[in-house]
Structure 1
């Protein structure tokens, strides 16, 4: 009998374009309306809109000295980690710091810092470049700063698998917990993909929606009129524990993280395999890891970026895995936008909330699907649905495919 390796999810911390609490994100998803808006700092670029996290006062949240030293993506990560730890009923003084891990996904280093500092170099002002420019922008520092903030002394590192980074971080963290290496892991992802450089790069690749007249309706996963993704920022951190460790401290368990599958397309730097073969193998690997079959899955939180090729490949993969009849699907990016390295962690947290509420949020902006690739995409209004299992899929540039499986406790 295969051994089931599951970790208890005991805490959630989320900052998304909907707000700074999980309940804010859940309410916005259930309303089913896109949150993209015009952003003044993107004025003059080919695409001037995106999804920004509202109402995070980093100086008030972190203190002025720390906030000034760190970049936006680390502000978000620390705030999410603190909230997750509090939600789990933990405090840094209540744990053995050598038995706690931090594993966070990030898609890039901070282009926000580089926008500013490279500008100084271009002006022949190298002595004005901040001595903190390097440490505040290195990808590893997002996990390191969370560990410093919370006093964590176990394994601490960042991982990068493009838009699947947050899911990769969660899978690695689950294995640290279930192997006995750690008692607790704080895992997820953080990214602020709203710098002028990031917006310009994605626009030049023709990856962004150009619906400037209707930002809220711009992201259209699985819709025949989809024309690209919408950039966003976010952070999500989940607290993972061994079930016996959570039981010893009588911690409520929000869900069980049971399956992790990761594959590569080995096909193209930015395009998915057209038949979704890598995605299909990742789903099957996650199911095997969870000791489940396709018929056991009750819901799919899709990657659903609203790119023409990406959605078509993902739909094809789901139809193949589920023999033409996948369970109900939703695509959170239609509301929240695409937060790159954070997106997979956000969607993992949303999958946990979906199982808790026994309710599937709708996909925004869906009218019609590609003929021959129709899925049961929940849209218009939330759908009550009995669920014991949920699957969250994430894919990224370079052909990364990562799939997570969660179950009710």
Structure 2
């Protein structure tokens, strides 16, 4: 593998592998089938019985013992379990073999918002109920947010730069942007980047419900996540992990790898406005979008598709739509895949980046599920009903998080 050197042209970043473990299924094919057909995944969740909102989007059929082995799975929080499996799938999809690669040249950058929240909550409950003798000694290697990146390194012998970034619901996009920087500076030759989240605990969900963030459509969970719809009333929380394998394009071509698409630009900003509400002017989001386009050396006219943050909340969807229209006019086809998989919190940006890569690769945008009547205040071209073909141009993936943190990725055809 070639290392970047001073004076060389800025290298292009290829996406050579995708690993998806989401409510739409495990693996790329399962996700394409569910997301591109627009079939929502939200359902009643036993762990949330008795709460004001008792449904969420969970990964179906995920058996960590069967997939990872008992000794590996039992010492990980579910967020790490999902991520390790997604990383394995991404590396296999890229045609790479950890048994023979130079692990010191492989970086891991994972985004997460809450890390091992479930483990912390469980062990805190044990402490309150039965005292310190019942707290697991594994708590401190399961709960901290850094452990997911560490476990991926252990599992795949990825021994280069290893870190976790946390920018709330923008974490996955932020991780991809930072991993791309590592490749460009020559700090690594392969980067495993994306996000994970599995914090659907009673306490976390009770807090989001009390804050008014979650949909209260208790009689219709499957119809609850409805981005850009006039009747939306909040998001549906979900869990999942999405990891991408990134390489310099010249390295990918040299080894004969398939390139699904290119990560051509990254932009980030802060609203500096409110702890949870977006800046109603959309100025922070707009700065991130324009920065990502400038980084890609592209203009708004070069973009055919926007995968919107599209949370299904009243404030976000209107603010984001106005920002998209201000930057792009009425040109690009807009979608929000949260209608199918819900809001994956710290993993949302990474999963949606993967869906954006697939949209560019397939030349087809998935529909926004549950969009029956578009809010008249949302004056953008939202794809609904069925998938839509697009021109072979760039696509933009928006991610915005609590704290006013924004991260945008630009994807172009290979």
Structure 2 CA distance for aligned equivalents of residues 98 and 248 of structure 1: 20
Q: Which residue of 2 aligns with 1:407?
A: 412
* Residue 337 (str. 1) matches residue 310 (str. 2): no
**Worse-matched range after superposition: 360-369 or 164-173:** 360-369
The 8 Å contact of residues 193 and 339 in structure 1, kept in 2 or not, is answered as no
Q: CA deviation at 1:380?
A: 0.6
* Residue 24 (str. 1) matches residue 48 (str. 2): no
Counting only pairs closer than 5 Å after superposition, residues 120-131 of structure 1 correspond to structure 2 as: 120-131=126-137
Query: Where does the alignment leave 5 or more consecutive residues of structure 2 unmatched?
Result: 1-8
* Residue 195 (str. 1) matches residue 205 (str. 2): no
Q: Which residue of 1 aligns with 2:354?
A: 349
* Residue 220 (str. 1) matches residue 226 (str. 2): yes
The 8 Å contact of residues 35 and 336 in structure 1, kept in 2 or not, is answered as yes
Structure 2 CA distance for aligned equivalents of residues 101 and 363 of structure 1: 34
Structure 2 CA distance for aligned equivalents of residues 185 and 304 of structure 1: 28
Which deviations, in whole Å up to 9, do the C-alpha atoms of 1:220-255 show, x marking residues without a partner? 111111100001001000000001111111111110
The 8 Å contact of residues 115 and 199 in structure 2, kept in 1 or not, is answered as no
Q: 1:371 aligns with which of 370, 376, 396?
A: 376
Q: 1:46 aligns with which of 46, 49, 52?
A: 52
The 8 Å contact of residues 79 and 115 in structure 2, kept in 1 or not, is answered as no
Query: Where does the alignment leave 5 or more consecutive residues of structure 1 unmatched?
Result: none
Against the structure 1 CA distance between its residues 4 and 327, is the aligned structure 2 distance closer, same or farther, given a 3 Å change threshold? farther
* Residue 73 (str. 1) matches residue 79 (str. 2): yes
The 8 Å contact of residues 4 and 258 in structure 1, kept in 2 or not, is answered as no
Structure 2 CA distance for aligned equivalents of residues 198 and 385 of structure 1: 38
Q: CA deviation at 1:124?
A: 4.2
The 8 Å contact of residues 303 and 332 in structure 2, kept in 1 or not, is answered as yes
Structure 1 CA distance for aligned equivalents of residues 375 and 55 of structure 2: 26
Q: Which residue of 2 aligns with 1:240?
A: 246
For normalisation by structure 2, the TM-score amounts to: 0.96
Q: 2:301 aligns with which of 282, 292, 295?
A: 295
**2:30 match: secondary structure:** helix
Q: Which residue of 2 aligns with 1:392?
A: 397
Structure 2 CA distance for aligned equivalents of residues 166 and 174 of structure 1: 13
Q: Which residue of 2 aligns with 1:255?
A: 261
Q: Which residue of 1 aligns with 2:211?
A: 205
Q: 2:93 aligns with which of 87, 90, 108?
A: 87
**1:298 match: secondary structure:** strand
Structure 1 CA distance for aligned equivalents of residues 172 and 277 of structure 2: 20
Q: Which residue of 2 aligns with 1:383?
A: 388
* Residue 184 (str. 1) matches residue 190 (str. 2): yes
Structure 1 CA distance for aligned equivalents of residues 127 and 154 of structure 2: 31
Counting only pairs closer than 5 Å after superposition, residues 164-179 of structure 1 correspond to structure 2 as: 164-179=170-185
**2:236 match: secondary structure:** coil
Against the structure 1 CA distance between its residues 193 and 116, is the aligned structure 2 distance closer, same or farther, given a 3 Å change threshold? closer
Which deviations, in whole Å up to 9, do the C-alpha atoms of 1:10-32 show, x marking residues without a partner? 00000111110111111111221
* Residue 152 (str. 1) matches residue 158 (str. 2): yes
